[in-house]
Amino acid sequence: MQVKKINLDKIHPSPTEIQIFDEENPSLINTSNNSIFSEPVFLQNDNGGYKIVYGFNTVSALKKAGVKYISAFVFDKNYQFLDVIRYVSDFVLKSRPIWPIEIARFLQVCWQKGIPAEQKSEIFNKFSDTDLTYLREKNYLALNDLDPLLQHFLIEKKAPLKTWLMLTELPAVCQILMQNLIAGYHPSLSIFEEIGRNLLEILRRENVQAEILLNELNWSCEQDVRADQGGKKIAELRELVLSRRFPHLTKHHRKIEKALEAIRWPFNIKIEYDKNYEEPGYILRAHIHNVEELTQLLNFFNGPAKAKLEDLLKILG
């Protein structure tokens, strides 16, 4: 491998060439001062020109900016695919792990090139720290079918492999719903995972078609979530899905909320209880500043609230 100054006109990205590795912060590419170290590009000699191995976005940005030459790491054409991947992955691994979708793309290219399992196993193990099996390969390959919006979101959120695999198990209509949520308001990874996981568990448990489930939830995947105000729609969806998955737990939760609303709490008292309802009872915390506040607190416990507090204790008991 050599470092060369390359005329960008000689770089011909093939429409069939798969971009295996994602570049970090592609929007921050400096088109006026490209550096081989801050914005590296890996190329390989190919039929009198060069094909891109890593740096697709950088090359595209520089071409659009009218730049004529670029400094790049260049592999000779006699380098085999697996050798090139070893070099480039070593560079990537210096700053971050290999994303699940990148492993999926690598396996897809291996499949297209007919590379035997024993030859790709070493690199797979390097990327995933696990051995390559038929089932693992099948699960990873399914990631390639995820919409780019889902892929970019999971990379941005540094989602674990289980979240990627969970999405592949969701039917297409549910995947569209998840895409719509991302496009609307970029939910946190935990909320995204919660909704997806609960949808999947409902589908498994009830053996219901996804289209029917969303219809029964009265939720359209074409809904314009961007019109949401204060996150109300996504909160509604979370509640709908949670209620469907845990109907008895949700009913219990609403009963507690109703009991809490019936109590006129003094401003200086807070209630705590186990939201999973595994620990019985509740904890009351009061912050007293003076005798007047103490008197108010005693009146609260000796007044009408006493019976309501007893009822709440029975519910949480």
- Most confident range, picked from 80-94, 230-244, 261-275, 302-316: 80-94
246-284: pLDDT as tens digits: 766 666 777 888 888 888 888 788 888 887 677 888 899
DSSP element (H, E) containing 173: helix 172-185
Q: So what's the pLDDT on residue 89?
A: 94
Q: How far is CA 46 from CA 67, 76, 78, in A?
A: 21, 9, 10
- The lowest-confidence range among 17-26, 61-70, 216-225 is 216-225
Q: So what's the pLDDT on residue 250?
A: 65
Under 8 Å between Cβ of 44 and 53: yes
Q: Look at phi and psi of residue 230 and say left if phi exceeds 0, alpha if psi is from -120 to 50, else beta.
A: left
For residue 21, is pLDDT > 60? yes
For residue 7, is pLDDT > 70? yes
**CATH dotted code for 1-80:** 3.90.1530.10
Q: So what's the pLDDT on residue 314?
A: 86
- Portion of the chain with pLDDT greater than 70, in percent: 88
DSSP element (H, E) containing 50: strand 49-54
Q: So what's the pLDDT on residue 26?
A: 56
Report the C-alpha gap between 129 and 159 in whole angstroms.
Answer: 17
Average pLDDT across the chain, whole number: 86
Closest CA to 19 of 136, 131, 105: 105
- Portion of the chain with pLDDT greater than 90, in percent: 40
For residue 214, is pLDDT > 90? no
Under 8 Å between Cβ of 153 and 99: no
Report the C-alpha gap between 214 and 180 in whole angstroms.
Answer: 14
130-159: pLDDT as tens digits: 999 999 999 999 999 999 999 999 999 999
User: Would you place residue 166 in the very low, low, confident or very high pLDDT band (cuts 50, 70, 90)?
Assistant: very high
Residue ranges of the domains in the chain?
A: 1-80, 259-316
Closest CA to 234 of 172, 190, 203, 201: 190
DSSP element (H, E) containing 155: helix 148-156
Neighbours of 155 (CB within 10 A): 17
